[in-house]
């Protein structure tokens, strides 16, 4: 384990074109808790089987998401997101593969972003493939459920998960919608546990790493294969792998250097050391 001011981290990345892989840990400083960090609250992430097989479960989910997506939409990038964006604009970072659905990399100014697990901001019909924005659906749900948001806000203490889910007690009265085009099941454009990442996104991520000279992993335990496979791919290519995360990760044995520390602090340091452009 290296110091947060690790010269080894800078040395591994300096002078190289760097692809970044990020997880929920990079967004904790923006107020979105991660799943597996040392201080993370207990969480049972949505599975695709639960969502598609049980209308009562879908009702509970949409009630919680009706509140959770708003919190995520209002969340702002932190210094870590801004540092990666600055490094991309400086030509150091070639792009970001993120396991997050919060769009904070794009909000921070990153251009080449692969949203591996989708986005909280879009909704898709599982039958006809029609898409709509989450904001447009929210307006329709507001009409169906007048006063719901205000009642929950009055209770306070809303806890939001990395997939825009939220802990809400009163969901039994909530009314949700099916696709207005075909009557099919609507689902947020988020890859749930047990669901496959679309092949084109995986191909984009592999291509980004193939074109890089180092891989920087930030804020991911790499516990799920959808992220871990890219660390294995980089190691197989023989390019250095640098990992920044609080606590152990599944990829530690493949890392050239591992730093145990906060994402925002370390990425701001890297931006200062690797980029001629000042971080704003």
- Residues annotated as catalytic are 117
Is 271 labelled as part of a ligand binding site?
no
Q: How many CA atoms lie within 13 A of 175 on its CB side?
A: 9
- Angle at CA of residue 193, ends 190 and 199, nearest 5°: 65
Helix (H, G, I), strand (E, B) or coil at 259: strand
Length of the chain: 280
| Alpha carbon 192 to chain centroid, angstroms | 12
Q: How many CB atoms lie within 10 A of CB 198?
A: 14
Contacts of 162 (CB under 8 A, 6+ apart): 24, 27, 32, 33, 34, 35, 100, 101, 102
- Residue 25 CA to residue 217 CA, distance in Å, equals 11
Nearest partner of 72 among 96, 100, 47, 114, judged by Cα: 100
25 is in an annotated binding site: yes
**Whole-number Å distance between alpha carbons of 1 and 26:** 19
Tokens 């209002």 correspond to 74
Q: How many CB atoms lie within 10 A of CB 34?
A: 24
- Other Cβ atoms less than 10 A from the Cβ of 86: the count is 25
Q: Does the annotation list 33 as a binding residue? A: yes
Rounded to the nearest angstrom, the gap between the alpha carbon of residue 30 and the centroid of all alpha carbons in its chain is 12
d(CA 78, CA 86) in angstroms, rounded, equals 12
Query: Residues marked as binding for NAD(+)?
Result: 23-43, 99-102, 219-221, 245-247, 263
């Amino acid at each position: 384990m290296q110091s947060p001011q690790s010269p080894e981290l800078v040395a591994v990345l300096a002078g190289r074109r760097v692809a970044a892989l990020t997880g929920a840990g990079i967004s904790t400083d923006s107020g979105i808790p991660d799943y597996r960090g040392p201080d993370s609250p207990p969480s049972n992430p949505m599975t695709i089987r639960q969502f598609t097989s049980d209308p009562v479960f879908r009702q509970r989910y949409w009630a919680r998401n009706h509140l959770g997506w708003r919190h995520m939409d209002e969340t702002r990038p932190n210094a870590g997101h801004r540092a990666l964006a600055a490094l991309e604009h400086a030509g150091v970072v070639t792009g970001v593969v993120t396991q997050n659905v919060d769009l904070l990399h794009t909000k921070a100014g990153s251009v080449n972003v692969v949203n591996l697990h989708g986005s909280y901001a879009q909704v898709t019909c599982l039958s006809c493939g029609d898409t709509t924005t989450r904001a447009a659906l929210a307006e329709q749900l507001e009409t169906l459920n007048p006063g719901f948001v205000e009642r929950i806000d009055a209770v306070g203490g809303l806890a939001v998960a990395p997939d825009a889910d939220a802990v809400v007690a009163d969901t039994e009265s909530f009314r949700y919608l099916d696709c207005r085009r075909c009557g099919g099941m609507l689902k947020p454009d988020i890859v749930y546990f047990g669901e496959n990442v679309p092949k084109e996104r995986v191909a984009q991520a592999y291509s980004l790493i193939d074109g890089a000279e180092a891989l920087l992993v930030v804020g991911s335990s790499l516990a799920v294969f959808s992220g871990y496979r890219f660390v294995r791919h980089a190691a197989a290519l023989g390019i250095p792998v640098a990992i920044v995360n609080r606590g152990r990760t599944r990829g530690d044995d493949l890392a050239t250097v591992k730093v145990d520390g906060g994402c925002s602090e370390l990425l701001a340091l890297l931006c200062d050391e690797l980029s001629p452009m000042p971080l704003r």
